Chain A
Amino acid sequence: MKQENTILENKNFRPLDLKKKMRPGESVIQSLLFISGVLSVFITVAIVYELGKEALLFFNNPDVTLAKFFGTTRWQPGIGLFGIWPLVTSTLITSAIAIFVSLPLGLAASLFLSEYASPKARSALKPILEILAGIPTVVYGYFALLFMTPLLQKIFGEGVQVYNMASAGIVMGIMILPLISSMSEDALSAVPRVLREGAYAMGATKFETSLQVVLPAALSGIGAALIIGISRAVGETMIVAIAAGAGPNFTFDPFKAAETMTGHIARISGGDLSYNTIDYTSLFAVALMLFLVTLVLNLISQTIINRFRQRYE
């Protein structure tokens, strides 16, 4: 090797300096990255601050009392009606219908995909759910108004109004189905193999194993999926804005028109809205409620998922 060592000669006796070097570039980059990371926290703070500030203005209005807010059932801030209930009930009804549709379907789909489908069938069936998940909600709105509503009218007759909560809820359920299915599938496949093998070793069939051993073991994960589904339904805007109705209406009849919280925000803010009016601040009050409800639901779901993950790791 002698002739080769012109560059790689023995370096053992060159000066050695291990002292820290100034690397200003590295520090600048690290600071920039840190700022990017922290920015997301500022976004949350900004949401809470802005929504809170305007909502506070709303509740500080002498005409608005908590008694009116929670005690009356008509909402039209422009003319002094501050009962939040019509927006809340319609939100709950559309969400409940959506969950009623998406939970059984999503759960069944996930059971089939994770327990029964061959890899080939899986790769053929999964894209259907992925495409459903990727369709913009405004397209679902079109579908609800121009397909689902006429269909419901054909089935249930004249009682179904042109705008109605049932149609919006059902279509919302179809929209949420992929989410529930994929989260449930994650939960099912996270159940350790030894558990299944234990069941098989006792003479259980595949079906008995998946329904009586795997499903219960994955229940908390499925619960998390359900909660995220509810949160998504409560926060969904375009489907209800297009198909559920354009005006607050205190009703429990799913075939009647009623405006949800999100639909209300979309309709009012889409018009000519001037700052510092009661209409403007009231929207922020509604949005704050929406944010808090979905935040709590998301946090619960995340906690469940984290616990679930720990248990099986």
Chain B
Amino acid sequence: MNPNHDHYPEGETLRQSLKKRYRSASLWQAIFFSALVIAMISLAALLYNVIDGAFGYVAFEYKNDPAEFTAKPLDDLNKQELLDILKANLSSGAYTKLDNEKLMKKRSKSVLYTLVLERLIQIDTKQNWSMTDSILHSSGIKTEVSEKYPKAKLEFRSWLTPVFLTTPMSSKAEFAGVRTAILGSLWMVGIAILFALPIGTGAAIYLQEYAIKNFLSRVIQTNINNLAGVPSIVYGMLGLAIFVRAFEPFTSGSMFGITDSNGRTILSAGLTMGVLVLPLIIINAQEAIKAVPDSLRQAAYGVGATRWQTIWHHVLPNALPGILTGSILAVSRAIGETAPLIVVGASTFISLDPDGPFSKFTALPIQIYQWTTRAQSEFHSIAASAIIVLLVLLLTLNATAVLIRNRVQRKY
């Protein structure tokens, strides 16, 4: 007999102790799971918080009575009538200016309607409420408004409208849109990818296919991993010192005869963002290239291909979906990044579409930042709307990436 045998529980004791062990196991399992529940709640709260801000009651007053301009109710006017009102009441200089920006006749009815409100009648927002408040305390809000602002109209509004997407910045929250910001973001990301994708892929090819495992390649690899962890604002400082300041003749366009600008241009921002996403692209492309099996390379060498023929005809085509997925992820990163743009000098008030790499610019996250930090709550509402636009954009991008990843089945 084993002398230690008596020290172990047996029978009923064993059963009890096992039961206890299992009970504590399921307790801990529940605790572990609760972490994920908290994550879920946080995500839900965040999305709710954003949507809550983007819709709700608004109490506003007309500065000028609509009756001064037209006998009909405003909503019943057709396009021509709106045009006539604008022509009749705006100063001829202001009208010509608008006409020059975009032909008035070509503008849609809703844009003209907005112009009438913005320029002629002029709106004064008194107060706005979140979606939850608007739904739960609807009657309370109505009485409050009728007491506090007897002349005000109360309206349930979606701050996120098609007009919001297509109008440029305005100092009034009611008339502000994200058009210039979206265009700025697209320009900036385009430049960043144009810069980072070829270089990043090239670096990945070099590291995976050419570099011998020596001191230099180890330094490069470690360096890339570290660059991926450098805070984005530090990239902003780099961009400020190099692209905005040192390369000013190039980034401002004065080298090319453009004079009305300093280094704080889309080009500087795009290059800064390109540098920021470069390590991301390299690391993803390396993984994609690594996944191409060696047998394929050997097959190509076996029929007398040179190294570059092997890479160009076999390695790259097979790594392409992975490289593409990586670039899309890099694009989403670049679209959401804010801090470096602040540092390289995004302007917050840009009402003209950017017309090239040497334009001053604003970007979607910059507008969100700017509007969030304003004190008036109507700006929080347009910040929320802009966030929805940004998140939808990112969701689309990531869905595309997932789609590409799933479409390409492993062939080998």
> Interface of A with B (CB < 8 Å)?
23, 25-26, 29-30, 32-41, 43-44, 46-47, 50-51, 54, 104-109, 111-113, 115-116, 125, 128-129, 131-132, 134-143, 145-147, 174, 177-178, 205-208, 211, 228, 231-232, 234-238, 241-242, 262, 265-266, 269-270, 275, 283-284, 287, 290-291, 294-295, 297-299, 302
Given A137-B336, A228-B229, A287-B233: A108 and B369 interface contact (C-beta under 8 Å): no
Question: Which residues on A sit within 8 Å (CB–CB) of B356?
Answer: none
Given A43-B278, A136-B336, A302-B226: A30 and B210 interface contact (C-beta under 8 Å): yes
A142 to B201, CA, bound (A): 35
A104 to B35, CA, bound (A): 8
Task: Tell me if A266 and B343 are in contact (CB < 8 A).
Answer: yes
Given A43-B275, A269-B343: A242 and B372 interface contact (C-beta under 8 Å): yes
Question: Which residues on A sit within 8 Å (CB–CB) of B34?
Answer: 108
Nearest CB of A to B5, in Å: 15
Q: B103 interface residue, CB < 8 Å from A? A: no
Task: Tell me if B35 and A108 are in contact (CB < 8 A).
Answer: yes
Task: Tell me if B29 and A50 are in contact (CB < 8 A).
Answer: no
Task: Tell me if A142 and B25 are in contact (CB < 8 A).
Answer: no
Residues B212-257 near A (CB distance < 8 A): 217, 219-220, 222-227, 229-234, 236-238, 240-242, 245
Task: Tell me if B223 and A108 are in contact (CB < 8 A).
Answer: no
**Segment of B80-88, B151-159, B384-392 engaged in the interface with chain A:** B384-392
Task: Tell me if B226 and A265 are in contact (CB < 8 A).
Answer: no
Given A33-B203, A207-B25, A234-B231: A142 and B384 interface contact (C-beta under 8 Å): yes
Task: Tell me if B39 and A33 are in contact (CB < 8 A).
Answer: no
Q: B327 interface residue, CB < 8 Å from A? A: no
Given A37-B207, A139-B391: A205 and B22 interface contact (C-beta under 8 Å): yes
Chain B: number of interface residues, binned into ranges: 35 or more
Task: Tell me if B35 and A106 are in contact (CB < 8 A).
Answer: yes
Task: Tell me if B369 and A291 are in contact (CB < 8 A).
Answer: no
Question: Which residues on A sit within 8 Å (CB–CB) of B202?
Answer: 32-33, 35-37
Partner of B39, one of A38, A40, A128, A241: A128
Question: Which residues on B sit within 8 Å (CB–CB) of A131?
Answer: 43
A244 to B39, CA, bound (A): 22
Q: B92 interface residue, CB < 8 Å from A? A: no
Task: Tell me if A262 and B220 are in contact (CB < 8 A).
Answer: no
Q: B307 interface residue, CB < 8 Å from A? A: yes
Task: Tell me if A295 and B380 are in contact (CB < 8 A).
Answer: no
Question: Which residues on B sit within 8 Å (CB–CB) of A178?
Answer: 39
Task: Tell me if B29 and A47 are in contact (CB < 8 A).
Answer: no
Nearest CB of A to B128, in Å: 13
Residues B356-412 near A (CB distance < 8 A): 365, 368-369, 372-373, 380, 383-384, 387, 390-391, 394, 398
Task: Tell me if B237 and A284 are in contact (CB < 8 A).
Answer: yes
A135 to B391, CA, bound (A): 7
Nearest CB of A to B143, in Å: 24
Interface string of B2-25 (1 = CB under 8 A from A): 000000000000000000011011
Question: Which residues on A sit within 8 Å (CB–CB) of B373?
Answer: 145, 242
Task: Tell me if A142 and B32 are in contact (CB < 8 A).
Answer: no
The 7 closest A-B pairs by CB, nearest first: A235-B231, A136-B336, A36-B202, A207-B25, A108-B35, A237-B339, A37-B206
Task: Tell me if B279 and A146 are in contact (CB < 8 A).
Answer: no
Nearest CB of A to B162, in Å: 22
Q: B46 interface residue, CB < 8 Å from A? A: yes
Nearest CB of B to A130, in Å: 9
Given A142-B383, A147-B46, A269-B343: A105 and B226 interface contact (C-beta under 8 Å): no
Which one of A26, A207, A275 has the greatest number of beta carbons of chain B within 10 Å? A207
Of all chain B residues, which has the CB nearest A266?
B342
Nearest CB of B to A95, in Å: 12
Question: Which residues on B sit within 8 Å (CB–CB) of A116?
Answer: 29, 32-33
A17 to B103, CA, bound (A): 72
Question: Which residues on B sit within 8 Å (CB–CB) of A228?
Answer: 229
Of all chain B residues, which has the CB nearest A130?
B398
Partner of B231, one of A39, A125, A135, A262: A262
Task: Tell me if B342 and A54 are in contact (CB < 8 A).
Answer: no
A174 to B40, CA, bound (A): 10
Task: Tell me if A51 and B234 are in contact (CB < 8 A).
Answer: yes
Question: Which residues on B sit within 8 Å (CB–CB) of A140?
Answer: 46
Task: Tell me if A109 and B35 are in contact (CB < 8 A).
Answer: yes
Question: Which residues on B sit within 8 Å (CB–CB) of A236?
Answer: 231
Nearest CB of B to A52, in Å: 11
A228 to B32, CA, bound (A): 22
Partner of A37, one of B203, B237, B308, B369: B203
25 A-B pairs whose Cβ atoms sit less than 8 Å apart in the complex: A33-B202, A36-B205, A37-B202, A37-B203, A37-B217, A37-B220, A41-B223, A43-B238, A51-B238, A104-B35, A105-B38, A128-B40, A139-B390, A142-B49, A142-B387, A146-B372, A147-B45, A178-B39, A207-B28, A211-B28, A235-B233, A241-B369, A270-B342, A287-B237, A298-B225
Nearest CB of B to A32, in Å: 6
Partner of A295, one of B40, B49, B230: B230
Partner of A136, one of B201, B225, B394: B394
Q: B325 interface residue, CB < 8 Å from A? A: no
Q: B42 interface residue, CB < 8 Å from A? A: yes
Task: Tell me if A138 and B203 are in contact (CB < 8 A).
Answer: no
A136 to B363, CA, bound (A): 13
Which one of B35, B38, B225, B236 has the greatest number of beta carbons of chain A within 10 Å? B35
Q: B337 interface residue, CB < 8 Å from A? A: yes
Question: Which residues on A sit within 8 Å (CB–CB) of B275?
Answer: 43
Task: Tell me if A26 and B391 are in contact (CB < 8 A).
Answer: no
Question: Which residues on A sit within 8 Å (CB–CB) of B205?
Answer: 33, 36
Given A33-B202, A105-B35, A136-B390: A40 and B227 interface contact (C-beta under 8 Å): yes
A146 to B384, CA, bound (A): 10
Given A138-B368, A174-B42: A146 and B207 interface contact (C-beta under 8 Å): no
